[in-house]
Structures are given as structure tokens and as C-alpha cells.
Structure 1
Amino acid sequence: MEYLDFELPIKELEDQLQKCNLIGKESDVDVSNTCQQIEKKLQETKKNIYKNLTAWQRVQLSRHPNRPYTMDYIHALCGDTFLELFGDRNVKDDKAMVGGLGKIGDQSFMFVGQQKGFNTKTRQYRNFGMANPEGYRKALRLMHMAEKFNIPVVTLIDTPGAYPGLEAEERGQGEAIARNIYEMFRIQVPIICIIIGEGASGGALGIGVGDKVSMLENTWYSVISPESCSSILWRSWEYKEQAAEALKLTSYDMKKNKLIDDIIPEPLGGAHSDREATFIAVKDYIVTAYKELSKQSTEKLLSQRMEKYFEMGEFKS
């Protein structure tokens, strides 16, 4: 188990509790009361820390190395029914963008999302979750396939941004993202978007237009990362905490500003602290959201999707 800087008080108490239990097992000394006191203090400390997180601390939690990624969610939700699909039918298959068909219960869904790696080798293989243009074109191809067979779309967003390399720009990175945003307004099936980790810049928006857009509690969604914002405004990464606060990028800020529809609660300690509970929460949300959206006509669905985004922001002449 890896701990973030602000979680060190929790680590100390967990170490004390482990030692206390070990003493109780290896000796005749009754340490049950001491263990109970430590456990009580541990729970109180967890509540105090996780109920009063700063914006930067939530950014750190969204990047936690033990946090579940897109394929973890897909396999947990669909089990053996998931069939991964590959390629954009033009350049190649982008390993940073994954997608395919899967079932939750008796209902089929088209899943699309960015996939990060869990160690050095897989992070390089997945390009750190930063998709190239072919990744976004692959995502759009799968959405059109879902539309053809009247299958709802679920996008799972977790990216530090679209890949900014020269070759990506040569192949039309900006156009690919813009095309996805444009086309997703017209996809004639329900689209449910969930930010499960980092939701940065156009890399997130490229699969982020939907009828229901939600965020897991400890995630962020913004036009720019706190580090990049800090480097632009203050010429240094040292002000990333202030940048995180100023950007209003947390799920609660986004909900307050009416830029997302819902917040999916996470277990105390973050999604990685109880993966099963997180998977169940996401599954319940998808099922509930689809039941609501499936009752609407296609015309109403598209009209409401368009209207929702028209109402975002404010224009003064």
C-alpha cells in the first residue's frame, strides 16, 4: 500500500495497530483495549483527513498508483462478456484508448476510455493514457458502431491530456478531438460519461460529450493541469496547489458550476481503498442513468444534450 504525503498520519496509526495486534498474538498480554483505542483513533483520523481534502489533495488521489483504471472497471462491470475492439481503420490501434462491447446484466454497452499503465513497461505501452489522433478516431468509430446497432455508449475518462507530440499534430490531433466533440452531439443513442481519474484538457473532452456526465468524488476535470497552470502563471510548478484551488477543478466545484450532472461517492480513503465498493457504485450509476435516458425519444435526447452544453458559461456583450 502506497501513501500520499497527507496520508502519513494514517500510515503511522496503521503501523501501530499492526504492531499492537502482533504483540497480542505473540504474548499473553491483553492488548485488546489498546488496539481498540488505536483503531478508533485511526477511523477518526481518516474521517478528518478525507472529509477536508484540498483541491490539490484530490488531484493527488486521482493519480494514486493503486487507483483502478478503465480496464479494471470494464472487467469488473462486464466480466467475461467484454469484447475489446481495435483500430481506427486508418493508421493503427492506439493502446492509450481502449473500447469494446460488454454487458451489464442483460443490457449491452459500448465502452470507450483511456487506459493508463500500472508499471513502467505498461505505462510506456499505454503512452501514459495520452491518446493520439487515431485513438480518438477509433473511439468515434466505436460510437458510430454502437449507434448503428442501437447500443448505449459509456465513456470512462482518465487522461493527463491528449498526446502533444509532433507526430500527433502531423496526423491532426486538434481536428480529431474537435470532430469527436462535434459528432458526439449527434450520436443517436444515450451517452454516459464518467471521469474516473484525471480529466485534463481536450484529451478528456474528446470523449466527454454526453447526456449524463459524472465524476467520481476524488477526480478532477479542467482545461489545464494545476502544474501547467502554475508554470504559465507563476513560471514555476511550486504554485500548483494555489492553481488547483483557482481552477475549481474538483467534482464539487464542477457540480456547483453546473458543468457535470452527478458526483459518484467514493469509499473513505479513495477508490483504491475499496475497489469493489467503487465498482458497485459506478455500475449502479450506469444502470440508473441508462434507465432514465432510455425512456426518452431520440429527438428529445439530442435536443437536451445540445441544450445542456449551450447553457454552460455566460456571455455578456
Structure 2
Amino acid sequence: MKGPYQLTVQRRRELSAALRAADLEPLQQQQQQQQQQQQQQQQVQQLTEVVTVGVQTDGEPAHAEAAPEKQQQQQQQQQQQKQQQQQQQELEQLQQELGQLQQQLQQLNQLQQEWQQKEQEWQIQHEELSKAKEAERERAETVQRELGATRVLLLETQEAEQQLQQHMEKEQQQLQQQLQQQREKEQQQLELQRQELQQLQRQLEAADSELQQQKKHYEALLATHNNRAAAEAAAAAAAAAAAHAQQSRELQMASVAVQTTLELQQQQQLEQQQQETQTELSLLEPLLQQQLALQQQQQQQPASAAAAAAAGSTKPRTCDAETQTALLQHRSVKIQRR
């Protein structure tokens, strides 16, 4: 199917061909012939009037001689009139066709103006569309660049999170190993202290038995010797031995109390370290959960909104990573101090 533009062009070509076919020169020639015929008719009429006057003056013989010429002239006039009528009709028909062609030409000019106006509008629309496409392409390139930068930041953040997680796991393993070693050491110390206490108890029992034997011995001496001085000396010796045994027992109990106090302090320090470690882990855990939630939200969002959302969410993730790194550094310093 032909479009409106092709139909208009074809119609315009047909009208141009018709105008070329209906040239104005034949019309001018016909008008000149018509003028010549009118002049000839006027001359014939003048001659007819002259002949008529001559016939009236000269008489019937002259009239009889002029009759054939008059008939011939009348026939010629009739033929010329018919030709003039035909030419007039053809001229009117040509004028009508010329008027129609002029109307069609005006319509074509109007259509051409409308077509030019449409072409201008289409050109403007095409330029606007080209500008819009260029702007859209620039926006797409900007979004692609931002998305690429966001992906790079996301990868860096993920790497930082992995390193942080590995560092935390490593520190946790080290802490667990330290706690395990410290517990084993404490258990060994407690076992040694139990052995020492058992040994002290055995020594105390031996000292008690020895004191009992000495007491029995001195009592026997007192029984055999009623000497007051001997009895007093024996009592003083027994009191000195009892005081010495009591003093040694107190010293041993004091050493056990000191060791127990040290063990309690170490146990408290261990518990405090465990509490601080748990507190730090509890502080880091929400940050990791928040980062995982942000990553899931970014993966669920569309690509066009992911770029904008990702550009806004990388900053808090970077801040979280810096916060976690600072906490880990602080934690490492505390462990080194311990």
C-alpha cells in the first residue's frame, strides 16, 4: 500500500503532466484564429451591405449575378460560425479544464504546504526524540557507572566482612585456647594445692599424734616425778610445743588462704575476661546481622533501584566495617595487655 505522501506525489506528477499536455500556446492560437474569423465576418458583412446597396441601385440583373456569390459567402459564414462555435465550445471546455487544473494545483500547493509543515513537525519531533534518547543513554551510562562503583564497594565490603569474620573466628579460637590452657593450668594448680593441703593435713595429724605422745610422756613423767619443778618444766615444754604446733598450723593455713585468694582473683579475672569477650561479641553480632540484611535488601531490589539504593547503603556498611575494625583493634589491645 502507498502512503499519503506517495499518493500526493503521484497525483502532483499527473497534474503536472496534464498541465504540460494542455499547453497555453494552442489556446492563444485559437484566440488569434477567432479574432481573424471575427474580422473576416465583419469584412463579409461590410461587403454584403455594399453589394446589397449596389444591387438596389443597379437593378435586378446585377442582383441575379451577385446571388451565387452571396450564397457562397453565406455558406462560408455558416461554416465559419460552426467552426467558431466548436472552437468556442472547445475553448470553454479547455477553460473549465484549466480552472479544474488550477484548483487541483491550489490543492496541491496547500497539500505541499501541509506536508512541509508536517515535515517540520516530524523533524522537530525527531530532534526531540534524538535528544531524549541521548539523555536516556547518558542516564543509563551514569547508572551503569554508579552500579559498577556500588558493586566494587559491595565486593570490598564483603571482603572486609570476610576478613573481619576470619579475624573474629581466629581471635575466638585463640581466646578459647587461652581459656582452655588457663583452665588446665588452674586445674593443675588446684590439684597441687589439694595435694599440699592433704600433705599439710597429714603433717598436722602427725604433729597432733606427736603432741599427744609428748603429752602422754610428760604426764607419765609428772606421774612418776611429783617434783613441782619438773612438772612445771614439763608443762612449759608441752605449752611451747603446743604453741609451736599452733603457729606452724596457722602459717600453713595462712599460706593456703593466700593461695586460695590468688586462685579466686584469677578466677574472677577469667570470668571478667569471658564477660568482656561475650559483650564484644554481642556488640559485633547486630552489626553483622545488619550488614546481612542490607545485602539481602540490595539483592531483592530491581537493577535500576538497586543502583540508587546501593549507592546510599554502601556508606553505612563502610562505617560498620570501620566500627568493627576499631572494636577488633581495641579488643586486640586489651588481650595484649592481659
Compute the TM-score of the two structures, normalised by the length of structure 1: 0.22
- The higher relative CO (CA closer than 8 Å, separation ≥ 6) is in 2
Higher Rg = 2
The structure that is strand-richer by fraction is: 1
Q: Which has the higher helix share?
A: 2
Q: TM-score, normalised by structure 2?
A: 0.21
